[in-house]
Structures are given as structure tokens and as C-alpha cells.
Amino acid sequence: MSDTLMVEALPSLLPILAIAPAQLLRGNGILSQLPKYLSRYGNKALVIAGEKAKQATASHFGNTTLEIIYAPAIADCTDANLAILRQIVQQEKPDVIVGVGGGKVLDTAKLIAHQSQLPIATVPTTGATCAAWTALSNVYDEQGAFAYDVTLDRCPDIMFVDYDAIATAPKRTLVSGIGDAIAKWYESSVSSGSSQKTMVIAAVQEARILRDILFQKSAEAITNPHSDAWREVVDASVCLAGAIGGIGGASCRTVAAHAVHNALTHLHQTHGTLHGEKVAYGILVQLRLEEFQGNQLATTSRHQLLKFYEEIGLPTSLTDLGLNQVTLAELEQIAAITCQPNSDIHRLPFTVSPSQVLAAMVSTTSPITATV
């Protein structure tokens, strides 16, 4: 036997992609089908929902042999709420978790299912985020500030998009969803636009298509929630935005727009604004930072967005975000948090200082002719 050890090549596993829910069901009034699809996972379902979503779905669980347990209504994805829910899972031993609601409720339900190794069904009740699709949960602290995110094993097992349910949500939620979804292009093209990787190229190009669909159809969708355009914009914000994150993987995730959002959540005055509204403003801040590098295309993009935001009702400035009383010290704090070492802002292809972030934050609506 030879003394020479054969060096075995170690398998080199590329990052695992969680691209999409195993099944996506869409249609009008399809929530009535939910118990039938849940029963494939067993006899007992734990529903995690906000108060309104709980009421909206209760009627659909009337005629079923499935045992339905409702978790106490939660408003936020926090460590304290997660601990309560884990205890309920231990006591009740459900066969499947069902998340019904907006992004925070869905993130909570997905994370509980992930931690409990249970199947998960998601039912978005607004068009405000792609949380019903993605294998990611954001956790917030008790004050409502962004704390950390968790990458999940996989996307949900089944996702139910009931357009009738989403149509009852306030118009503002879909507008916010548009702001979050359109960020996919501005963030992924900066972080991954020069990638040679097939899957990443595909994701960035899908993000461009998503942006174009939103430019073309959002105004009509907002005006008429029963139009075809409305349905397509819901699909764009709730589904396609999620698919882009799935195909592109970690390399195609968030950059400065979300870094600004995450920092803004530390100001209690921003808690009345929605995720996508803060992200939309964050895109403008990101473009300003690119303008500071002499990027004229960024100026053009920002003005295109300003026009679009005004058309559909997204915030363009600190005042629009309700921060007209914000102090310089608070803005400095936001800029410092935005530039923390682990912030996604460092995925920009240039270094950024807190003073540049502050300068960008107060000049999101500056005219084209302004010197940068």
C-alpha cells in the first residue's frame, strides 16, 4: 500500500439558492381552497396572523375537518414574539404553519416554521412586500428598529395569492410594495450589474423588467384596483420581486436603499411610514451617492424616479417621510448607522462616509442643474 495519500477533492458547493415557493396559487377568492391544500400536511394547522387578517380568514376555516389553532395576533417580528410562538408550537404540535398578513407577520410565521422544521403556507394580505415568497426573515427589536435578518432553508411550501383579499388592503400598501420592488433594479444593478454569472445576470435583467412593468402599469393600477394593470402590479411586487432575490441569491440582495431604510427604523418618527416608502426614499439617497461620484446616469434615474414617485404617491424627501422636525443630531445618527461596518451600503462599488450619506439624505430632490 502506498504511503502517498490520495488527496480527495473536496466538493465545492456553491451558495444554495432558495428560488421560489414549491407551489404558487393565484386567483380571486381562492382562500376558500386553503384548508384543502393545508390538509395535505396533516390534521392541525397553526395560523399566525395579525388581528385583521385573522378575522378575514376565519370564515374560510369554517367548514373543514382540519384543526385550526390561532396564535395570539402579533404585530411585529421580534425575539419576544418568536419565543411565545415557539412555545405554542411545542404545546400544540401543529403539522403546518400558516402565515396570513403583511411582511412582518409573514416573516414571523416563516421563521417559526424554519425553527420548528414545519411546512409553511403564506397568504399575503397586502401588495406591500415580497415576504410571502422569500427565504428571508427580518427581525426587529422591541422599539421597532431593524435588528437582524435570518436566511431560511427554503421558500414557503405553498403561497396563496388571493387578489380579492389583497384588494381590500389600503391603496398605500401597494404603493409601498412598488417602492420596495423597484429597488431591486437600483440595488442589484449596482451590486451585481457586472457579474458574469448566468443566474445573477438573469436576476438583474428580471429586475430591469420588473422596473419597466412598474413604470408602465403602476399609475393605472393605483387608480383602478380592479384593472388588469392592478393584478399585474401585484404579481410584480409580491411575486417577481421575490423571484429576483431567489435567482440572484445573496450576491443580488440589498445595497444602499435598504441600508438607509434599516437606519431610518431607528427613528421612532418613521414608524408611521411603511417599509417600501422608506426604501423608495433610500433609492434616491443611493442615487445621490452615485451622483457624488460623478455618475450623470444616476441624476437622470433620480429625476425619472421623482416624477414616478409624485405620480403614485411615494415619498421623495425627509419631509414626505414625516421628518420635517428631524434634528441634525438625529440625521447624523441615521447616517452613522447607515455606515456601520456590517451595513449593506458597503456593497456599493465605492466607499461612503456618514457625511456623504447625510448630504445625500437632505438633497434627494435637488434639480439636475445643481452641482454635486
Binding site for Zn ion (CB under 5 A): 180
Q: Does 104 appear as a known binding residue?
A: yes
Q: How many CB atoms lie within 10 A of CB 209?
A: 13
Task: Output the nine-digit C-alpha cell for 130.
Answer: 415580497
Q: Cβ–Cβ contacts within 10 Å for residue 15, how many?
A: 8
231's enclosing H/E stretch is helix 228-234
Ligand-binding site membership of 275 (annotated): yes
What does the block give as the cell for 209?
A: 423588467
Annotated binding residue at 180?
yes
Q: Are the C-beta atoms of residues 237 and 103 closer than 8 Å to each other?
A: no
| Chain residue whose CB lies nearest Zn ion | 180
User: Minimum Å distance from CB 258 to Zn ion?
Assistant: 6
| Other CB atoms within 10 A of residue 239 CB | 22
The helix (H) or strand (E) run that includes residue 122 is: strand 120-124
* Residue 258, annotated as binding a ligand: yes
Residue 49 in 3-state DSSP?
Answer: strand
CB nearer to Zn ion: give 98 or 244: 244
Q: Which residue lies nearer to Zn ion by CB, 180 or 344? A: 180
Helix (H) or strand (E) holding 214: helix 198-223
Q: How far is the CB of 128 from Zn ion (least distance, A)?
A: 10
Nearer to Zn ion, 57 or 254 (CB): 254
136 assigned ligand-binding residue: yes
Whole-number minimum distance, CB 149 to Zn ion, in Å? 10
Q: Min. distance of Cβ 278 from Zn ion in angstroms?
A: 9
Least distance between Zn ion and beta carbon 234 (Å): 16
Helix (H) or strand (E) holding 108: helix 103-116
Nearer to Zn ion, 180 or 291 (CB): 180
Compare residues 180 and 206 and give the one whose CB is closer to Zn ion: 180
Amino acid at 260: V
Is 212 marked as binding a ligand? no
CA contacts within 13 A on the Cβ side of 339: 18
C-alpha cell at 102: 403583511
**Least gap, CB of 291 to Zn ion (angstroms):** 23
Question: Quick one: 44 or 208, whose CB is closer to Zn ion?
Answer: 208
Q: Does the annotation list 261 as a binding residue?
A: no
**Binding site listing for NAD(+):** 103-107, 134, 136, 140
**Binding site listing for glycerol:** 180, 258, 275
**Binding site listing:** 103-107, 134, 136, 140, 180, 258, 275
